[in-house]
Amino acid sequence: MPQNDLIASVFRQEVRALSAYKVADATGLIKLDAMENPYTWPDDIKASWLEALKDCALNRYPDPEAKALAATLKRLNQLPDQFELLLGNGSDEIIQLLLMALPSNACVMAPDPGFVMYKQLSHCLGLNYHGIPLRADDFDLDVPAMLSAIEAHQPSVIFLAYPNNPTGNLFSEDAMLAVIKAAKGLVVIDEAYAPFADASFIDRLDQFDNLLVMRTVSKLGLAGLRLGYIAGSRAIIEQLNKIRLPYNINILTQISADFALSNKSLFDSQTRQICAERAGVFGQLNNMDGITAYPSAANFILFRTPKNQADSIFASLKKQGVLIKNLAPQGGLLSDCLRVTIGTPEENKAFLAALRKSLAGH
């Protein structure tokens, strides 16, 4: 059978229609495209970490429930006893397994623009995805539009990233509450960027039966470990646990994350540094002719370039050795938009200088 016929006969149409999620090659570039923490650890902490890993049993399967790590995460998040946690290989995996548990004709909803995996994974699983445009002036939730879409489509799951990626803002609390109250299905508050924001819904879990709060250690400084978690009622987490692969959190991640989170003050000081840099980069961006930067509660900043120049500015930055994210191809509210992750002071300086040069060249 020719390969094309084989592919068509084996794979679902929605899978064939998708493109794989592309990650840009950052070799040799200043990497400000993926919301990573630019800082590593001092040598003494690295040495203690390696010591902690030394005797781990690589020949054995890891604890399928990652009990020690889960207990640490519960303690750090001050999660009351009546709630449960499910751990994932990054929060990406949690989004995937939550969607895998839905009926085949289910509807999934999220604001648009939003984190692309909600849509990608919904499409991949053949679910009906509805992206509801944010307000154009301030990127806040369009509550009337959200409420009428909820009424019309009865979504099984609504994702609200708080702060939102790629816009960087926190939606207003009233708008969030209106959506949570109107939803008849689950509402997942995706707090991937919580370390940089002074806001969370984790202490409201007891107010709403349909609420889940998802977090990750990726943006905090542990993106390489691949660890995310979601908190919610025992009954909901019990269902999700049936979909989870038994050993989804490997032993190196279990030990390393537990070790790292016991040194949380290190991350807290890195986070403070990133937030201080964010304020500086924001001010400098908004001082540049033709650039509008949007306020951010995350570790990145979305900014708008002069009309039809985003692609060439992005290319020029790359040529000067700085990789950021070009969002202009997504169109809509992101036309002419680029997104930069906050790096070290030196990286940010290099980015700002390269951007000034690109703008002068236009």
Give the binding site for ligand PMP (CB under 6 A).
35, 90-92, 115, 161, 165, 190, 192, 216, 218, 223, 228
Task: Establish how many alpha carbons lie within 13 A of residue 175's alpha carbon, considering only the half-sphere containing its beta carbon.
Answer: 18
Phi, psi of 301 (to 5 degrees): -135, 130
> How far apart are the two ends of the chain, measured CA to CA in Å?
53
Contact call for residues 257 and 217 (beta carbons, < 8 A): yes
Work out how close the CB of 90 gets to ligand PMP at its nearest, in angstroms, rounded to a whole number: 3
Residue number with the smallest Cβ distance to ligand PMP: 90
Which of 161, 293 has the CB closer to ligand PMP?
161
Which of 193, 303 has the CB closer to ligand PMP?
193
The C-alpha atoms of residue 161 and residue 194 are separated, in whole angstroms, by 10
Which of 237, 359 has the CB closer to ligand PMP?
237
Contact call for residues 115 and 5 (beta carbons, < 8 A): no
Torsion of CA 243, 71, 215, 179, to 10 degrees: 80
**CA dist 265 to 41, 261, 262, 272, 274, Å?**
12, 9, 8, 10, 14
Work out how close the CB of 325 gets to ligand PMP at its nearest, in angstroms, rounded to a whole number: 10
Work out how close the CB of 275 gets to ligand PMP at its nearest, in angstroms, rounded to a whole number: 17
Work out how close the CB of 34 gets to ligand PMP at its nearest, in angstroms, rounded to a whole number: 7
Which of 112, 190 has the CB closer to ligand PMP?
190
Work out how close the CB of 341 gets to ligand PMP at its nearest, in angstroms, rounded to a whole number: 10
Which of 191, 336 has the CB closer to ligand PMP?
191
Which of 108, 192 has the CB closer to ligand PMP?
192
Work out how close the CB of 6 gets to ligand PMP at its nearest, in angstroms, rounded to a whole number: 32
